[in-house]
Amino acid sequence: MVRPVTIWASISDEIARFPVEVRELPVAPVTDPVQLRAALETQYRFDSPRALDEVTAEVMRLFRAHTVHVTHPRYFGLFNPSVREAGIIADTLSALYNPQLAAWSHAPAACELERLTLRRLAGLLGFDPDTIIATFTTGGAEANLSAVLAALAHHCPEADRGGVAALAARPAIYVSGESHHSFVKIARMTGLGTDALRIVPTTSTHTLDPVALAECVRADTVNGWRPLLIVGTAGTTSAGVIDPLPQIADVAEAAGAWFHVDAAWGGGAALSAHLRPLLAGVERADSVTWDAHKWLSVPMGAGMFFCRHPDAVRRAFAAVTSYMPDAVSGATDDPYVTSAQWSRRAIGLKVFMALAELGVDGYATLIEHQVAMGDLLRTRLTEAGWLVVNDTALPVICFTHPSIRAGMLTTRTVLEVIYTRGFVWISDVVLGGQERVLRACITSYRTTSDDVDTLVTELERSLAGGATS
Ligand SMILES: *Cc1c(COP(=O)(O)O)cnc(C)c1O
């Protein structure tokens, strides 16, 4: 039986309306967890069937009312984008056909669209698409894990059977205090242990200090450790700064260590010819993490992993089974033997469709617009007496105010006023392990200069309100 068209009409209506109407909604509605849970438990006992159109309408209502609207043009938050329609269509089609990308032979169309997309993006990073391997991942955390596993397969092949216990020297991983904390989990997941993580000091610009790195690597080598992998972050989560990639590459090369660039968010700069030079040095990486669900404006989850050692990746993820279909000659590797996932959704379809719709130049326009809005915000804040404390060309602005520094109010009191009013959403962060500052990131290609002005107005109000309360 064909379902009445109304349910789909209501969805396509919502897809058309929500991106416009979200502007008028509170960015971050306040939810009482006890009330929400109780309401849901009363309504859904799962003992009797419910009409799907009713359930659909209810989910739409719930999501509108109880979600931080990261697609709101005044969500100046973490790296969560407004999504392109192409991504919504792609995720819908992917659910409809449910292609299984574990084996190429099960999903030739989806696998080849992913391959095409990854090759184009690899070229923008300065890689030769013919000699590298690239896969879509669930996100940046999986891509970073893939880097460590590939580095182990490459540099410590004896760990394949014996685990890290079989290694003569314990492998060490170098990150900075501003690196992403997925590496803490990865140290545990890989059996390396969190003692293997070296937190290299940062300089006053909150970027990894390459001199301190070289010293740390040298000391470890003397003390019997094996410098395995060095992470350079291109676009740190807190301050959006880019580590000195060429200098880190030099240290890695001299130490015979794997150089991984975590460009989960900042990788987006590669789409713009103007901004691409900021990533100089990324082309020397052994592997790169780049999330499409951050700055490429597609829905979660869509990470990407690029690696210039295909054989190491194959060894890291190899598995032999009797039940999986045979590899097809002339095809690419079966994704289940070149990545951590087994059953795989067509993750890359949304990136393919967005890239096909926009073209690289169209994407560059979106990225450059967000950079311009970041520059505008920096200017407006400075004009209004705020102090910008990070230095990056990317649209993350960390800032404070003389009256916060003087202890008259805190970032938390500023945020409380802002969250209660609900017109904008920003966060705060501790930079360099020292000062707690406010953080605003342009994450929506729909953010306008009026939205930026509203943010500054809201901040001014919060100063007044926060100081008197
Ligand atoms: C977001 C982020 C990650 C983690 O990526 P997920 O997609 O959330 O798994 C890793 N590194 C950096 C620099 C990030 O910004």
Mean per-residue pLDDT for 235-257?
98
Distances (CA, A) of 20 to 23, 84, 181, 354: 6, 13, 35, 19
Q: Name residue 42's amino acid.
A: T
Nearest to 117 by CA among 283, 358, 349: 349
Convert the pLDDT of each residue in 116-131 to its tens digit.
999 999 999 999 999 9
Burial track 2-29 (b if 16+ CB lie within 10 A, e otherwise): eeeeebeeebeebeeebbeebeeebbbe
Mutation test of ligand 1: which of 180, 392, 439 has the most ligand atoms closer than 8 Å to its C-beta? 180
How far apart CA 440 and CA 85 sit, in angstroms, is: 25
User: Ligand 1 within 6 A of 81 CB?
Assistant: no
Question: Which residue has a Cα nearest atom 5 of ligand 1?
Answer: 140
Instruction: Please tell me the predicted confidence (pLDDT) of residue 4.
Output: 60
What does pLDDT average to over the chain?
96
How does DSSP assign 169-190, residue by residue? SEEEEEEETTS-THHHHHHHHT
Longest Cα–Cα distance in the chain:
72
The share of the chain scoring above pLDDT 70, in percent, equals: 98
Nearest to 346 by CA among 117, 33, 181: 117
Mean per-residue pLDDT for 182-207?
97
Partnered with residue 198 across adjacent β-strands are 174
**Helix 140-155 / helix 310-317 crossing angle, nearest 10 deg:** 100
Instruction: Please tell me the predicted confidence (pLDDT) of residue 331.
Output: 80
Distance 109 CA to ligand 1 centre (A): 28
Nearest to 104 by CA among 254, 297, 434, 324: 324
Burial track 53-85 (b if 16+ CB lie within 10 A, e otherwise): eeebeeeeeeeeeeebbbbbbbbbbbbbbbbbe
Question: Which residue has a Cα nearest atom 4 of ligand 1?
Answer: 140
Instruction: Please tell me the predicted confidence (pLDDT) of residue 469.
Output: 43
Convert the pLDDT of each residue in 65-100 to its tens digit.
999 999 999 999 999 999 999 999 999 999 999 999
Convert the pLDDT of each residue in 25-72 to its tens digit.
999 999 999 999 999 999 999 999 999 999 999 999 999 999 999 999
User: Ligand 1 within 6 A of 295 CB?
Assistant: no
Distances (CA, A) of 5 to 9, 95, 365: 6, 18, 37
Which pLDDT band, with edges at 50, 70 and 90, does 195 fall under? very high
76 contacts 440 by C-beta, under 8 angstroms: yes
Which atom number of ligand 1 is nearest to the Cα of residue 234? Answer: 13
Mutation test of ligand 1: which of 289, 295, 429, 439 has the most ligand atoms closer than 8 Å to its C-beta? 289
Which atom number of ligand 1 is nearest to the Cα of residue 265? Answer: 15
Convert the pLDDT of each residue in 397-453 to its tens digit.
999 999 999 999 999 999 999 999 999 999 999 998 889 999 999 999 999 999 999
The share of the chain scoring above pLDDT 90, in percent, equals: 94
User: Ligand 1 within 6 A of 262 CB?
Assistant: yes
- The two tokens of residue 364 are 């560059």
Mean per-residue pLDDT for 294-314?
98
Distance 7 CA to ligand 1 centre (A): 35
Mutation test of ligand 1: which of 136, 236, 237, 261 has the most ligand atoms closer than 8 Å to its C-beta? 237
Percent of the chain that is helix, strand, coil (3-state, to 5): 50, 15, 35
User: Ligand 1 within 6 A of 139 CB?
Assistant: yes
DSSP 247: H
Residues 6+ apart with CB under 8 A from 450: none
Convert the pLDDT of each residue in 336-351 to its tens digit.
999 999 999 999 999 9
Distance 233 CA to ligand 1 centre (A): 10
Distance 290 CA to ligand 1 centre (A): 9
User: Ligand 1 within 6 A of 183 CB?
Assistant: no
Assessment of whether the complete model's pTM goes beyond 0.95? yes
Mutation test of ligand 1: which of 186, 262, 298 has the most ligand atoms closer than 8 Å to its C-beta? 262
Mean per-residue pLDDT for 223-244?
98
User: Ligand 1 within 6 A of 79 CB?
Assistant: yes
- The two tokens of residue 269 are 């700069």
Opening angle at CA 219, ends 218 and 225, nearest 5:
90
10 contacts 53 by C-beta, under 8 angstroms: yes
Instruction: Please tell me the predicted confidence (pLDDT) of residue 239.
Output: 97
Residue 226 pLDDT > 80, yes or no? Answer: yes
Instruction: Please tell me the predicted confidence (pLDDT) of residue 467.
Output: 54
- For 189, other C-beta atoms within 10 Å of its C-beta total 14
Instruction: Please tell me the predicted confidence (pLDDT) of residue 433.
Output: 84
Residue 466 pLDDT > 80, yes or no? Answer: no
Opening angle at CA 232, ends 231 and 234, nearest 5:
135
